[in-house]
Amino acid sequence: MKHCIAIADFTIEQIDHILEVGFQLRNQRATGQGNDPILKNQTLAMLFEKPSLRTRVSFEQAMNELGGHAIVLSGSEVGLGKRESVADVTRVLCGMVQGIAARVFEHDKLIEMADHASAPIINMLSDDAHPCQALADVMTMMDEFGRDLTGRTLAYVGDGNNVAYSLAWICAKLGINFSIAAPAGYELPAEDVEKIKTHHSAFNFVQSHDPLEVVKNADAIYTDTWVSMGQEEEKAKRINDFAGFQINDDLLSHAPDHAIVLHCLPAYRGVEITDSVMDGPRSRVFPEAHNRLHAQKGVLAVLMGGK
């Protein structure tokens, strides 16, 4: 592995290895002795065109706990592709730091960065993909159901966005059945679905407009905001279009009793998910958020630490 840009780029073995390293580092941290300084004298440049809580804290803390250092750069001060070309920014940073992580709007910027990089490029989120979130989500499912998730079912209720796309890919790679219920016009693109469906013989993919259909056999039920960053002008229309797709107690009553609930956060309580579900006994939302630290450590240890 040279970069972490999209789950679609990973082999099954690479996903398994990142997760294994993440679990090992989490277990080591839990002893109270801290992690070995495997990234000593290494620096990660973190570029943010979009604001963040979990992504910034998890990556910066991961570098600290692994003995490295992180530099945080705002999109406005760098002007990636505007004040300075993507290629020039990448080549400058690669001469000074050992890794670059970027949270951007246009996914193509990450691809261009990788084309000009001599150091690892890590996608902290783009409009097309959120691979680090998907890794943390799978870790959370493994905590609940064991390391072999083959045949389990993840049901996604909401917008066919970057998170849904990355989840569909990681499910396909690991043999986790994936179902998505989205309103008409918000589905995952058909051409992406056809690519995703070819990656595991045991993988079952369902795309529906009915939330009740996808949760009835779910082991995990997932949702995300209906209005992502950059879509604020569409807020009223989107909330109207997604009526009936809320994760609430009534919807959960149609799911198996053991089904857990996941959300990548930030959550808009009372919109895509209710307080009673978010704070209820089936919610794993906050352990899921905490696993961002451990998934990020797995990515950093593999790409920058040679693990």
Contact predicate 46/60, CB 8 Å: yes
CA 223 to chain centre: 12
Q: Would you state the torsion angle of the CA atoms of residues 100, 106, 108, 109, taken in this order, to the nearest 10 degrees?
A: -30
Exactly one of 42, 98, 133, 246 is catalytic; name it.
Answer: 133
Told to judge if 4 belongs to the known catalytic residues of this protein, a careful annotator would answer no
Our answer to whether residue 42 is catalytic in this structure is: no
Q: How far is CA 106 from CA 11, 129, 143, 157, 299, in A?
A: 24, 10, 33, 24, 22
Tell me whether residue 207 is one of the annotated catalytic residues.
no
The verdict on whether 264 is a catalytic residue reads yes
Query: DSSP for 99-153?
Result: EEEEE-S-HHHHHHHHHT-SS-EEEEE-SS--HHHHHHHHHHHHHHH-S--TT-E
Residue from 128, 137, 219, 224 carrying the catalytic annotation: 224
SS3 72: strand
Q: What is the distance between the alpha carbons of residues 26 and 298, in angstroms, rounded to a whole number?
A: 9
Of 152, 238, 263, 292, the active-site residue reads: 292
Determine which one of 103, 152, 238, 284 is catalytic: 103
Q: How far apart (Å, rounded) are the C-alpha atoms in residues 59 and 127?
A: 19
Residue tagged active-site, from 54, 130, 200, 294: 130
Helix axes 12-30, 131-145, angle to 10 degrees: 70
User: How many other CB atoms are found less than 10 A from the CB of residue 74?
Assistant: 12
Structure tokens at 249: 């107690």
Active-site annotation holds for 249? no
- Token match 């080591």: residue? 28
Active-site option among 98, 137, 264, 284: 264
130 is catalytic: yes
Active-site positions read 103, 130, 133, 224, 264, 292
